[in-house]
Structures are given as C-alpha cells and as structure tokens.
C-alpha cells in the first residue's frame, strides 16, 4: 500500500532543511527523530488517502487494483494503520522540541485533509505540494526550535516541484475525473494546458532554487546540483507528452526520486564545504 519511493520524495528535502538549519550535520538524535517523523507522517497521509478514496479507486480502471478495492486490505485495517502512524508521528515530534510538537497537529491535518482536496478544488496538486513542502520547514524547526523565513523558500520549491509532477500524473485520470465530478487541473485545462502549467511550475522551482542558493550563500556545488536538477526535469518532460503518457510511471516515480536525492546531495555538500 505504501511504497518506499513515497517517502523518498520528501525525505531528502527534509534532510536538506535539517542540514541548512544546523549549518552542517545535525545531531544524530535529531536526524533519527526527523526520519521517524517523516516516514510516519508520510505513511499516515498515504494510508488515509487510500482509506478516503477507496470507493473512487474502485471506480477508476487505473486504481481499482489498489489494496482496499482489490480486497488485499480492509478499510478497518487501513484506518487503524493511519491512527497508529499518526500517533508515532506525534510522539516522534515530541522528542525533538516544544515548537515541533505544537506544530505537529497542524501538519498532520494538512497531510490528512489533502485527500479531500480534489473534491472541491482543481488546485489539489498544490495542496499535495504543501503537504510535502512542510517537511523542510518542519526539519528546520526540529533542529533550531524556531522558524526562519528563509527556509520557506525551500517549502515553495517543494510545492512547485510536487505540484508540477502531480499535474502531469493526474493527466492519466483527466477523462475519469470529468466523468465522476472530481476536480483537477488536467480535467479543467485539458492535457495540453496541464503540460504547460507543469513546465511553468518546474521552471519556477528552478528560479526559487537559485534564490535559495543566494539566501544561504551556498557555493559552486549547489549551483551544480541545481543544474543537474534542471537536466533531470528536462528529461522527465521529454519522455512524456500530451499524446503519449505511457512512460508516466518512469517520469513520476523514478525521475522525481532521483531529483530529490540529487538536490539534497549537492546542497548538503555545499553546506558542509562552507562550514567545514
């Protein structure tokens, strides 16, 4: 029900926030609890999404083999799994600092309520981006015990990145969404318009990445990392088109997992070089 890559998407950006907050490597205890927070929160969000969308998934040919409609897991089990993962997240947040714990319920609310966004707004893709974009800000708070506005630029980067690739992914369901009354940008703009919007969001992500480098005074390694991310996003957009969505899983899962790891690797290296 929950794949490893579901955590890989956001975890490297959370670790980026932690490294920027610590001006180097955070303490081992902080890293451990940040990872526990990330994995448990993501698991709660994904499980609740499967629980909330079980009937919708059953009616969609692309998703009818997901765990609940396929009969592999019961809704009751998935509901309790969500509760347990949420409790683990709150307990892990309490092990970091007071502000992390105070913010945790609001973060959990965004993660869970995202599942209903496509029922009332076509901008649900950006709500998903916010759900993942809270990760680096949360990691900063976990390390510092306070919030610096500069880290919100990284949150915006994640919102644009996730929003862009989720718009592309949703193109697969555009006709189905129109038929059943679900809202999405591909359903409202058409596949061609959705592709242009996704490109624009990813270009904005790159522009914000340049701003982030400037704000934190990062060096050449960060510039190389952003250049590599630009190349990876360019490749992602080259293997899918409005007329050919057959390689969407490769673009969505594989390439975006690589993007997040590359971003973290080069920014973290730039921070370590700067503060060594």
The pLDDT confidence band at residue 6, using thresholds 50, 70 and 90, is low
12: Cα within 13 Å, side-chain hemisphere: 21
Q: In this predicted model, what pLDDT tens digit does every residue of 67-113 receive, in sequence order?
A: 999 999 999 999 999 999 999 999 999 999 999 999 999 999 999 99
Predicted local confidence at residue 55, as pLDDT: 92
Contacts of 140 (CB under 8 A, 6+ apart): 17, 18, 20, 21, 147, 148, 151
Is pLDDT above 70 for 5? no
- From 231, 220, 216, 217, select the one nearest 262 (Cα to Cα): 231
Long-range contacts, stretch 224-230, CB < 8 angstroms, 24+ apart: 224/266, 225/262, 225/263, 225/265, 225/266, 225/267, 225/269, 225/270, 226/263, 226/266, 228/262, 228/266, 229/259, 229/262, 229/263, 230/206
Residue whose pair of structure tokens reads 């998407």 in the numeric block: 9
DSSP label at residue 255: I
Predicted local confidence at residue 245, as pLDDT: 86
**Mean pLDDT in residue range 151-172:** 95
Classify domain 4-274 by CATH architecture.
Answer: Orthogonal Bundle (1.10)
- From 33, 29, 3, select the one nearest 93 (Cα to Cα): 33
Q: In this predicted model, what pLDDT tens digit does every residue of 209-249 receive, in sequence order?
A: 999 999 999 999 999 999 999 999 999 999 889 988 888 87
What pTM does this model have?
A: 0.94
Question: What are 166's two structure tokens?
Answer: 């989720």
Q: Exposed, middle or buried by CB within 10 Å (0-12, 13-18, 19+), for 55?
A: exposed
Residue whose pair of structure tokens reads 């630009």 in the numeric block: 230
């Amino acid at each position: 029900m929950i794949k490893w890559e579901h955590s890989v998407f956001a975890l490297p950006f959370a670790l980026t926030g932690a490294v920027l907050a610590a001006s180097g490597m955070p303490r081992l205890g902080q890293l451990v609890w940040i990872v526990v927070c990330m994995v448990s929160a993501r698991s709660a969000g994904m499980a609740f999404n499967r629980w909330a969308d079980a009937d919708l998934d059953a009616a969609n040919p692309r998703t009818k083999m997901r765990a609940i409609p396929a009969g592999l897991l019961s809704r009751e089990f998935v509901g309790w799994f969500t509760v347990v993962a949420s409790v683990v997240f709150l307990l892990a947040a309490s092990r970091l600092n007071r502000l992390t714990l105070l913010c945790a319920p609001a973060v959990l609310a965004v993660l869970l309520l995202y599942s209903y966004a496509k029922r009332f707004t076509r901008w649900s893709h950006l709500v998903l981006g916010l759900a993942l974009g809270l990760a680096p800000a949360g990691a900063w708070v976990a390390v510092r015990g306070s919030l610096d506005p500069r880290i919100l630029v990284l949150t915006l980067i994640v919102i644009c990145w996730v929003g862009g690739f989720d718009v592309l992914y949703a193109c697969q369901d555009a006709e189905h969404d129109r038929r059943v009354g679900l809202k999405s940008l591909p359903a409202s703009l058409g596949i061609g318009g959705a592709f242009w919007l996704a490109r624009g969001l990813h270009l904005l992500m790159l522009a914000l990445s340049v701003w982030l480098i400037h704000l934190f005074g990062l060096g050449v390694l960060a510039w190389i990392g952003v250049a590599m991310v630009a190349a990876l996003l360019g490749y992602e957009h080259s293997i899918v088109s409005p007329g050919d969505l057959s390689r969407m899983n490769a673009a969505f899962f594989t390439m975006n997992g690589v993007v997040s790891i590359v971003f973290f690797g080069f920014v973290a290296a730039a921070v370590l070089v700067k503060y060594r």
